[in-house]
Structure 1
Amino acid sequence: MAGTRSTGRRERLRAETTAEIKRTALELMGTGGPDAITLRAIAREMGMTANAIYGYFATRDDLVTALIEDVYTALADAVDAAWAASAQGGTPAARIQAWAHAFRDWALANPEGFRLIYGDPVPGYRAPDGGPAPDAARRVCVGIAALADAAWTGAEPAHGGGEFDWDDFDPGLLGKVRLAFPALPPAGVALALRIWGHLHGLVALEVYGHLSAQTLAPDKLFRAELGHLVGTLGLA
């Protein structure tokens, strides 16, 4: 029994230290940029020896991969939850707006995480085969396609982009989107990317502080952009 308690305590302490290492890495990135993520710098901030921290992450790239996995999964969970919650009686316009607000809310609450997966590359980082967070990336990608699927009515003139064909898109993207939405035509895939451009653009400007000098109401600006977006899609 004593041995079991001791093992459980060691596992708990290891999990706590691992979480602290990840938090410290994101804090260093927030103040010093992606260059600041080094195991030695993290060890110094935490009062650990360099050798001790290597017992948790063998390389800096292992740590960055774990961070991206955590961050991307948290984002996927947030937008998936918003999409699921809007399913009951939600109109296409309301569902698109729910997903979009969840994306923005998560990004503003986790600016370092947003920058890690959508902004600042960590110099010299080599991702594992298949990417650092393939399942979370797939979920977010499918979520974006779901926005287009919700808006698509089959009337191409309402959305534009009828000139697109399958050869215009990356096979990896199509593999994810067509598996989830086999009826979505090439123009629908283009619509998904156009919607993503609308949402990601304003959120990135806000996260990086580029809107702060121009507006005191970025939330109002975002709502207005969403209203315009669903209006151009022909959604009331």
Structure 2
Amino acid sequence: MGNVGSAGSTGNTKGRRERLRAETTAEIKKVALELMASGGPDAITLRAIARDMGMTANAIYGYFATRDSLVTTLIDNVYTSLADTVDAAWESAPAQDPAARIQAWACAFRNWALANAEGFRLIYGDPVPGYRPPEGGAAPDAAHRVCTGITALAAAAWPHAESRYADSDFAWSDFDAGLLDKVRPAFPDLPPAAVALALRIWSHLHGLVSLEVYGHLRTQTLSPEKLFREELAQLVRSLGLTPQS
């Protein structure tokens, strides 16, 4: 009986230790994004994080060996959060209604960006000075999911929009090979013009959301959501679709 109690105690201690480690790791990431929000990308340093958390610099190295390993984890986490959000919105709309799916994806993207402004700035804003990604420089899998999701918007609209781009002269050689490696396996039947359309859709959505996240619309309009929704409706019409109310 004594041995059983000892084993249970050891298990509980290990569980508490793992829970505390997970909580501290989450706090480190939270503080890193807060530092970025207040001081810009170069404000993310392990020493500054340790200071704000009341830890020693040596203690924080037990969680992240380098500043770059922390930034890599943040980027992966942020992309995963975004990908999960827009994928869920896409799946929630009827598959036979491309306009509803595009609008659901776009609104989810805007809502996520506004709720996670620091994360948005990390992956789509100014780069962290001196940051070196892991060897090979591969983007997180979730970043590929976001890229594929953007292409899915164009793929859903393409049967309706194709005739509008009959005079397009885009060729595969006009695109980055890395982009094509992501989207062509997922959408083997899409022509180059449809991939160009995906980039145009992305520029519409990303541009307006970026202005809002960075606060550039505050002195311009009291209704940024209305502006976004009307821009989105116009985008949907340009694809030969009828926007949902």
Which interval holds the TM-score relative to the shorter structure?
over 0.9
Within the alignment, does 1:55 sit opposite 2:55 as a pair? no
* 8 Å CA contact retained: 1:161, 1:187: no
State whether structure 2 residue 106 is matched by structure 1 residue 106. no
Q: 1:38 maps to what in 2?
A: 45
Map 1:69-108; keep pairs closer than 5 Å. 69-89=76-96, 91-108=97-114
Long gaps (5+) in structure 1: none
Question: Does the C-alpha gap of structure 1 residues 211 and 3 become closer, same or farther in structure 2, counting only changes over 3 Å?
Answer: same
Q: Secondary structure at the match of 1:152?
A: helix
Please give the TM-score of this superposition, normalised by the length of structure 2.
Answer: 0.93
Which residue of the partner structure matches residue 75 of structure 2? Answer: 68
Structure 1 residue runs of 4 or more that deviate by more than 3 Å after TM superposition: 129-133, 154-157
Counterpart of 1:170? 176
In structure 2, runs of 5+ residues without a counterpart are 1-7
Sequence identity (%):
73
Alignment of structure 1 residues 135-146 onto 2, 5 Å: 135-146=141-152
Corresponding residue for 1:115?
Answer: 121
Counterpart in 1 of 2:130?
Answer: 124
Instruction: Assess if the C-alpha contact under 8 Å between 2:75 and 2:123 holds in 1.
Output: yes
Q: How far is the alpha carbon of 1:88 from its aligned partner?
A: 4.8
| Contact 1:21/1:42 (8 A) holds in 2 | yes
Q: TM-score, normalised to structure 1's length?
A: 0.96
How many angstroms does 1:150 deviate by? 0.5
Q: Which residue of structure 2 lines up, in the alignment, with residue 217 of structure 1?
A: 223
1:156–1:162 contact (8 Å) kept in structure 2: no
Alignment deviations for residues 70-107 of structure 1 (CA, whole Å, 9 cap, x no partner): 11100000000001111355x11111000000000000
**CA distance, structure 1, for counterparts of residue 64 and residue 166 of structure 2:** 49
Aligned residue type for 1:167: S
Q: Which residue of 2 aligns with 1:199?
A: 205
How many residues are paired up?
A: 235
Computed over aligned residues only, the root mean square deviation of the Cα atoms, in angstroms, reads 1.4
The answer to whether 1:227 aligns with 2:242 is no
| Equivalent residue, structure 1, for 2:158 | 152
The equivalent of 1:7 in structure 2 is: 14
For each residue in 1:20-73, what CA deviation from the matched residue of structure 2 results, as whole angstroms up to 9, or x when unmatched?
Answer: 000000011111111110000000000000000011000000000011111110
Residue 133 of structure 1 deviates from its aligned partner by 4.5
Does the Cα contact within 8 Å between 1:72 and 1:133 map onto a contact in 2?
A: no
Does the 8 Å contact 2:46/2:67 carry over to 1?
A: yes
